[in-house]
Amino acid sequence: MRRFAKQSMAQFSSQLMQSFSLLATKQTGIALWDDPTWRSCLLENNWVGASWPLSWGGPGWTSEQKFRWYRACHQSFEDYVEPPEIRDVGPCLQRWGNHRGRGLMAGITSLDVRWSLALFEGSFTPADFATKLASSWRLSGSKTQVRFALRADRLLVVAKQGEKFVLLDIASDTPGIEIAPMVGLAGDVTLAQIQFNDVLVTEEQIAGELESSEALRQLCYQTVSLELGRSGAIERQLVAARQQVEAGVAASAEFSSRLAELEIALQALVIMEKRVVAASATDVPSPIPWSLLQAQGLALQLEVGELVLDTFGYYALPYPDEISLHNEGPIGSSSGMTASRSMLRATEQVNYANLAGDLYDIAAEELLSGADRVGMHEKIATE
């Protein structure tokens, strides 16, 4: 029985990789979701919300299938990322949305509506929550680190109304909303700052409610939660570094030793991921808190990024200054820019994850607070 299950999973992974290879798309990052062939592939196979349960409109995959899905995506597509409507907004509406909020899911599952979740602020203590919906139905405040806000048709805004927190469905072009792009370390724009200046909303725009500060905290954890299979992205980088070694570009003994150590560390990360996957399929609490696993994964990704940069050198490090760089041609191999951007994006991911609290502190809290809380966060992370 175990052998049959292993063979089935291997076949599942093979089918995913084959389907992805037939797409022949060169899109990376969020641009992949604008590719017609990728969108058709997702819709035809019911893969839009790959990590969602059946009740949400997802495929209802097991944890093992989800794990293999994300590994395949990270291995097949450079800088793979899920858009906020899939990663953040859909799960938020399913957990805390009202009847109208859940009705918004149709536009998400059909990939017709692009969303962003406006959640984080400069201070995230619930008592200091500054974005508020007044009794006059005017929304004021600001949000920071809003993912892919510039592409969003609609915003799901978390605001304080009296003593509760509400989810507001607001069109991104509503009068009074100012969206300022935040140029990332890699020179691209993934995040944005949003200002709400007496934005008029109606009661019908309330899409859900967070009944307590604890629910607000759960939403924070969900937003930066673990994506099992991210080891696939690290593997892509290590394969590129290994190719440089085999080509004789980076043949020093020190470099080869560092590469071998990181390849072993990657295998350890994969084993940790598989342990979480195996535990999630049973009633036994996971031996590894999701936050600790995520912190380990990000730390390894940074180490690998440093190694890859050492392999290619700091070739064409992206610096968003067209005046200084307009006469400079490419230096080094074409993989140099990819290596640089991967390293800088990993740094940004660490900074973004820390918005919800230091991941090691979260892991320590989970370990000390008992299995129930660990189980709760594992459920959030793997659904």
Q: Is 302 helix (H, G, I), strand (E, B) or coil?
A: helix
Residue ranges covered by each domain of the chain: 2-82, 113-211, 231-382
CA-based R_g, the chain, Å: 21
Q: Is 185 left (phi over 0), alpha (psi -120 to 50) or beta?
A: alpha
Instruction: Provide CATH code, domain 231-382.
Output: 1.20.140
Asked if 370 contacts 286 with a C-beta cutoff of 8 angstroms, the reply is no
Pairing of strands 154-161, 138-147: unpaired
Count of C-beta atoms within a 10 Å radius of residue 307: 20
Q: Residue written as tokens 């808190």?
A: 289
Work out the percent of the chain whose per-residue pLDDT is above 70.
Answer: 74
Predicted pLDDT of residue 343: 67
Predicted pLDDT of residue 155: 98
Structure confidence at residue 379 as a pLDDT band (50, 70, 90): very low
Between 352 and 72, name the one with better pLDDT.
Answer: 72
pTM of the model: 0.79
Q: Candidates 3.30.70.270, 2.40.110.10, 3.40.50.300, 1.25.50.10; correct CATH number of 113-211?
A: 2.40.110.10
Determine the Cα–Cα distance for residues 69 and 76; give it in Å rounded to an integer: 11
